[in-house]
Structure 1
Amino acid sequence: MDVKNQILTVDNLSIGYPSITVAKNISFALEKGSLCAIVGINGIGKSTLLRTLGGLQSKKSGEIRVDDHPLESLSPLQLAQKRSVVLTEKTTSKNLTVQELIALGRQPHTNWLGKLTKKDRSRIEKSINTFLLDKLRHKKCHELSDGQFQRVLIARAMAQDTSLILLDEPTTHLDLHHKVQILKLLQELAHEQHKTILFTTHEIDLAIQTCDFMLILDGNQNPFGEPCQLIEAKHFDSLFPSEMVQFDAKTGTYKVKK
C-alpha cells in the first residue's frame, strides 16, 4: 500500500466511553479510491468505531490520522472539509426538498453568508445526477421512500466533496434490489471519483462481493484485508455461532445450518 496515498490510518485504536472500552486493537489503513466495510456481530462496536473515526466521539487510546493529520489536530471546519459522515440517526431536516438537503453538503466550503458559487452548484448537480435524483429534486424529503432518502443523504455527503466518506449502515431497512443499488453506487463513487468510503453493514455477503477491503470486528484480532484474503484465512468462519450458521468459502456466503 502506498503510504503517500493513504487517506485514513488507524493504529492500535481503542474505542468506547469513559467507563467502558467497547473495542481495542484496531489497526488498518485505507488508500484513496477504496471501498471498505466494517462488519461484526451486534454490539461489537461498529457504529462506535465509525463515530470515533469521524471525530464525533473521543477515542480511548491509539492514533487516527486523516490525510496524514492527527484527527484531534483538525479544527471542525478542517475536518468537515476532509471527511463527511452519514449516520443512522433520524434527521430533523426532512421538511427540506431533496435539492436543499443536498446543497447543505456545501456548507463547509461557503462563506459566512452561505452563498453558493458556480462551483458549489456544479457539485450539487453532479451529486443529484450520480444518485439518480433529478426527478425527485423538488420533492420534500419526508415524501421519499427509505431507499430514496438514503440516496439523498449519500448524495449530500458526495456534494461535501471530501476525500473520506463514513456511512453507518447505508443499506439498512432496504430490500435486496435497493441494497445492491446503493452498494454499486458507492463502488462507482470510490473507483471513478477516487473517494475513500468506509461503511458499517450487516450485509456481509454483499460486502464480500462489492468491497475492496473489509474490517472484521471480532473483539480479538479485528482482521483487515481484501475479502479473498480474509476468506482464505478463515476469519469469517468463527464470526457467528457455528451451530446456527456456517460460512461457505466457495460462494462467500453464510448458510443456515440444518
Structure 2
Amino acid sequence: MRALKIAAAGMTAQQMRVEVISNNLANMSTTGYNARRAEFADLHYQQVARPGTINSSSGAVLPTGIQLGLGVRATAVSMMLQQGSLAATGGDLDVAIEGRGYLEVTMPDGTAAYTRDGALKLTGDGQVVTADGYPVVPDITVPGDTRSISINSEGEVYAYFLGNVQPALLGQLTLANFTNPKGLEAIGSNLFLETGASGPSAVGVPGEDGLGVLRQGYLEDSSVDPVKEVTDLIEAQRGYELNSKVITASDQMLGSMVQIR
C-alpha cells in the first residue's frame, strides 16, 4: 500500500522539523543567531486520470481528474533574517550590528568568513579578534598603553591615552552585505562562508549603502522566539503521531487482507 510510504515520508519530514526547532531552542542565547525554518514540498503525483482528458464513455471533459499524492520532501532549511534585540553589556569591544551586514574575519587558512557576533577580544599583541581568535578585517591593533576604546556608529575605532585629550584613530570596522544572505553557508561558531547562492560580498562603511550601523557596548541577542518554537514543536509532534497512526491503520488493513480466505 502506498499509504505506508507516504506516512513514512511524513514522519521523516516532521522529524526534520523537530530537529530544526531543537537547534533553534538550543541557540536561544547565542549572540547574533537567526532562527531557522524547515520548508517542505509535496512529492510527485500519480496521474490516474489527468484533468482535462475526455471521458471515453460520455465524451465529457474531466474537470479535476484523479491525482494521487506520493508524500512530502524537505526543500530547504531557511534562515529567518530578523534583527535580534540589543543587550547592553558596557564592553569597549562589544559591538552590535543594527541593521544589515556582517563583520568579516580571516580564517586560519586565509579564507574570509562572516559573522554578526560582535563580542570582540584582544590578543596579547593588541590585535582585535573574535572570541575564537580569528582576526577582524581590516586589521586593527590597539596599543598596550590605551586607556579606553571608542567605536562610533560608522565603525571608526579610537583609542584614548593618558595625558592626551584627543583620541587617536586606530582604524575603521567595515561591514559586508550579500544579495541573498540566506544563501550563506553556516559553518558553526557564528560564522558563515560566501557561496554561489549568496552572491559576492559587498563591503562598505556602516551606515552607508543600506548597511546597518554599529552600537558599541551592545550585543545582538538571538532572534529565536521560544513561545513560537514550543508551539511549532507541539504541532510537529502531533503531525508525527498522526502519520504513525496512518502506518498502524495501513498495517491493520494489510493484515485483514492477508486473513481473507
Comparing both structures, which one devotes a greater share of its residues to helix? 1
TM range (shorter): under 0.3
Q: How high is the TM-score relative to the length of structure 1? A: 0.22
Comparing both structures, which one devotes a greater share of its residues to strand? 2
Q: How high is the TM-score relative to the length of structure 2? A: 0.21
Highest CA radius of gyration, 1 or 2? Answer: 2
